[in-house]
Structure 1
Amino acid sequence: MTTLLDHVIDAHGGLAPWRNATIIEADVTYGGPFWEFKGVPDFLGTDHVIADVHREHVILQQPSGRTIEFDRDAGTLTVTGPDGRHETLYNPRASFAGYTPDSRWSVAQAGYFRAYATWSYLVEPYLFTYPGVETAEIEPWIEDGERWRGLSVTFPATLDLHNTTQLYYFDDAGRQRRIDYQPDVNGGSPTAHYDTAHDTFDGVVVTTARRIHIRNEDRTPDRSWVPITLDVTGVRLK
């Protein structure tokens, strides 16, 4: 691990709580106009999320009674409706081939995007210690008079995330403050993702508020609107 990664892991509670846990649960409230724009307005609201800590598997229980389950090892995204009917999307990433930021999504596609993204957010920064993940400290980012140290994280093909290499930024205390990525499933739309609040649960520090913006060509965020918001409560490690 790099010196910066050591600092970040320690600032978020160390490795022991993650290694001793198998599941992280939370209630995640999703907001913003993105969901309606993508054709799934009923994705607004609070999901109960049950995520595996040591592999990419996550279940989202939605207020409508719908359940979404993503299992990366099996390569499946399954949507179960309130009536018990199932829809399974095999190799879900492939279904986005040729999509642009303006493309509409099916319920299963939106569920896949939400599932893999939420899983990664809940297990950060422990995710950076997964087998095959490569990290390197990069140039810092300066914003609003603050200087945040940068960490480039490259993920192996065994994980489904927004894109292969993402840039993470941390304040002096080691708290995560920003992520730069460009989701493959959304036509590679440049994104500046901000972690705006944190709290401690069961010995680990978790981001409890995220605000996601379009990233301008100069890498500044377009703050004229917030396409996606996430707010996290009730985190439990099991």
Structure 2
Amino acid sequence: MNALLGKILDSHGGADRWKRYTEVKASIVSGGGLFALKGLRQDSDPRRMTVWLHEQRASVLPFGAPDQRTMFTPDRIAIEKLDGTLVAERYAPRDSFAGHQMNTPWDPLHRAYFNGEAVWTYLTTPFLLAMEGMRIEEIEPWTEGDETWRVLRAYFPGSLETHCLVQDFFFGEDFLLRRHDYTVTIAGGLAAAQLTSDYTEANGIRLPTKRRAYARGPDRRPIRELLLVSIDIGDVSFE
């Protein structure tokens, strides 16, 4: 394993502990300007997110109605009733974003897919960097104020559904995640810099509870006036 990645995983709770768990549950409250661009109503109601840690699978409850949830896997997105009755589904869901730009409207299945792939990525970071098929390399460090952040560039395998195939992860001197850069390919290649803060510890795993994704300027710095997505995470448990 990359030596830097080993220190990062240890600081977030350790690979051995991570392997003992199969899923994480958390309450999430999301906001930001991206949803309005997509013609979607956004509220501040908390929702319950379940993410499977060693396979790409996620679900959020409620979704669209109090008795509905989503079920996300790489090859299928679905909205279903709590008793399993199917409301809507789409196979090969990423194909439905072909030709989309930043302001192309989304339907509920588009939104459900975005939620699934995005929050799965966030709640498995940084341990996903050690998953089979991932390739990482350390690139030039980043200076932020009086701090120097080390940066891992991750090359994702095509079998994983995520924002884009190449993403950068920034870590502070304590080896905790400070920032996550990516492009949202399903929204016309929108460049984002997501800042992470307010760490908590749940069942021995450390993770940030605040994520703020801003449009990323040509100087690679976040444009603070352009908040794309905000996520507040609480009531976290690993099982």
Mark yes or no: TM-score above 0.5.
yes
| Deviation, structure 1 residue 81 | 5.7
| Deviation, structure 1 residue 31 | 1.4
Q: Which runs of 5+ in 1 are unaligned?
A: none
- Per-residue CA deviation, residues 71-91 of structure 1 (Å, 9 max, x unaligned), is 22xx10001268955110111
Mapped to 2, the partners of 1:85 and 1:2 lie a distance apart of 43
Q: Which moved more, 1:218-227 or 1:33-42?
A: 33-42
Query: Which residue number corresponds to residue 181 of structure 2?
Result: 180
Alignment of 1:88-237 (within 5 A): 88-237=89-238
3-state secondary structure, aligned to 1:41: coil
3-state secondary structure, aligned to 2:223: coil
TM-score (norm 2): 0.94
Mapped to 1, the partners of 2:219 and 2:205 lie a distance apart of 34
| Deviation, structure 1 residue 200 | 0.7
Aligned-partner residue type, residue 234 of structure 2:
T
Alignment of 1:13-162 (within 5 A): 13-42=13-42, 44-62=44-62, 64-65=65-66, 66-72=68-74, 75-80=75-80, 84-162=85-163
3-state secondary structure, aligned to 1:222: strand
Mapped to 1, the partners of 2:76 and 2:42 lie a distance apart of 22
3-state secondary structure, aligned to 1:227: strand
Aligned-partner residue type, residue 135 of structure 2:
E
3-state secondary structure, aligned to 2:210: strand
| Deviation, structure 1 residue 6 | 0.8
3-state secondary structure, aligned to 2:225: coil
| Deviation, structure 1 residue 42 | 4.1
**Aligned pairs, how many?**
236
Mapped to 2, the partners of 1:31 and 1:129 lie a distance apart of 30
Structure with the bigger percentage of strand:
2
| Deviation, structure 1 residue 44 | 4.7
1:7 aligns with 2:13: no
Asked if the contact 1:35–1:44 (Cα under 8 Å) also holds between the matched residues in 2, the reply is no
3-state secondary structure, aligned to 1:70: strand
Asked if the contact 1:167–1:180 (Cα under 8 Å) also holds between the matched residues in 2, the reply is yes
Identity over aligned pairs, percent: 29
| Deviation, structure 1 residue 203 | 0.4
- Aligned-pair RMSD on alpha carbons? 1.6
Q: Which runs of 5+ in 2 are unaligned?
A: none
3-state secondary structure, aligned to 1:172: coil
Aligned-partner residue type, residue 129 of structure 1:
A
Runs of at least 4 residues off by over 2 Å: 42-45, 80-85
TM-score (norm 1): 0.94
Q: Which moved more, 1:30-39 or 1:200-209?
A: 30-39
Mapped to 2, the partners of 1:189 and 1:81 lie a distance apart of 33
Residues 44 and 188 (structure 1), Cα distance of their counterparts in 2 relative to 1, 3 Å cut: farther
Aligned-partner residue type, residue 11 of structure 2:
A
